Each structure stands twice: as C-alpha cells, then as structure tokens.
Amino acid sequence: MVYKRGLRLLIKQLDVLIMPYISFVLLFYPTAYQPGEACAAVPKEGGTSSAAILLCRACGHELAVGADIHFVPSRLALSSRNDTFIGGRRVNIQLFENPHGNQFEVITFRKAEVTQHWPADKHFTWFPGFSWTVATCPRCKTHLGWAFQPTDWPDTVTKTKFEESEHTFLALITHRLLREDVASSLLMTPKSFMS
C-alpha cells in the first residue's frame, strides 16, 4: 500500500516536471513535433535559412528575413552568445543595458521594415561611432529596437539614405521578434470546438 502511494506521488511529481519541459520544447522547437517532416525541415543550403521570416511578436507584421541578419560586434555588450534562432542558423545575440538599468538582448540586422524616429541621439550609444534612434513596428507601433547610423551624419536622414547605406544597421530586441514557422505552430483549436 505504501509502495502504491509512493509510486502515485512519484508519477505526479514527474508529471509536474515533464509537462513544462515538453511544452517548452514544442514552443521553442516546433520541428520537434513534426515527425513526418523532421528531415525536410533541415535547410539544405549549408545549415542556414535565409528565407526564414521574422515577425513582430505583438501584431505579426513581417519585419525581416534571415538573410538580413548582419552581425555588428560591440565592445560595450555585457555579453555575447551564439544561439540557434532562424532555421538552424547560428546567430550572435548581444546583451546591453541602458542607463535606466533595463537589459535587452538584441540581434543586429542590415535592414528591416521598421519605422525610425529621428532625430538620432549620440548619447548613451551601445555602438561607439554610431548614433541611435528608436525603431518601432510600422503597424502596431511596438518598440522593437534601435536604428544606428554614423555619428558624423546629420541627426535626421531620409529612410532611403538609411536603407541604401552600408554604414547603417538595426539592433532588434529578440523577445519582440517571432519566427513565422513558430507563429504558425502556436495556432490552436479552442477546446469548445473539439468534439
């Protein structure tokens, strides 16, 4: 009798530990629950997926593709790490802290469809030699990160000049982005519709 009670308690504890882990794996690694397509999900072009689409996590607006990622290192980063972010591609993620003590993990992009709010500010920059401006989602106006331009540029520039220059980049906050393949796996049928 004590054996059965102990076994039930053990099963209950394992259920409490294992279910969050399984949910985590399915949420952050959606290909883990595609048994028929597991091999097809691996990109064929050398382990990178340049066609992966990144969305605004708040509204789903398409912001960038994997090919737009362009690593810009900063000596002011609190830390830097490589992570699998887009279709198996290793992406460098940097951690920064603003003067208010808020920390942000960012990925740098060559371009993205965001709205920049000029004038640019030269103070408290994370990338020496660059001034920054806030970048928001063009649809829902959520703060997505920052756009960086050389400090010797005028404080206000045209969007065309910003996009055409090789000296500009964006730093977008990782937790405000969502991969399109992950977004499509988050859709669920409400329990009330299930028979």
| Residue 170: closest CA among 135, 138, 195, 143 | 135
- Per-residue model confidence as pLDDT tens for the chain (195 residues): 555 666 666 666 655 555 555 554 444 444 444 433 333 333 444 333 567 899 999 999 999 998 999 999 999 999 999 988 666 678 999 999 999 999 999 999 999 999 999 999 999 999 999 999 999 999 999 999 999 999 999 988 888 999 999 999 999 999 999 988 877 766 665 565 555
Q: Record the tokens describing residue 171, joined without a space.
A: 């730093």
Instruction: Find the CATH number of the domain harbouring 114.
Output: 2.170.150.20
Q: Which domain holds residue 98?
A: 53-184
122 occurs within a structural domain: yes
88 occurs within a structural domain: yes
120 occurs within a structural domain: yes
Q: How many other C-beta atoms lie within 10 A of the C-beta of residue 52?
A: 21
Of all helices (H) and strands (E), which one includes residue 163? helix 159-164
Beta bridge partners of 179: 54
Q: What is the DSSP string of 41-60?
A: TS-SSTT--TT-EEEETTT-
157 occurs within a structural domain: yes
Domain count within the chain: 1
Q: What is d(CA 174, CA 57) in angstroms, rounded to the nearest whole number?
A: 10
11 occurs within a structural domain: no
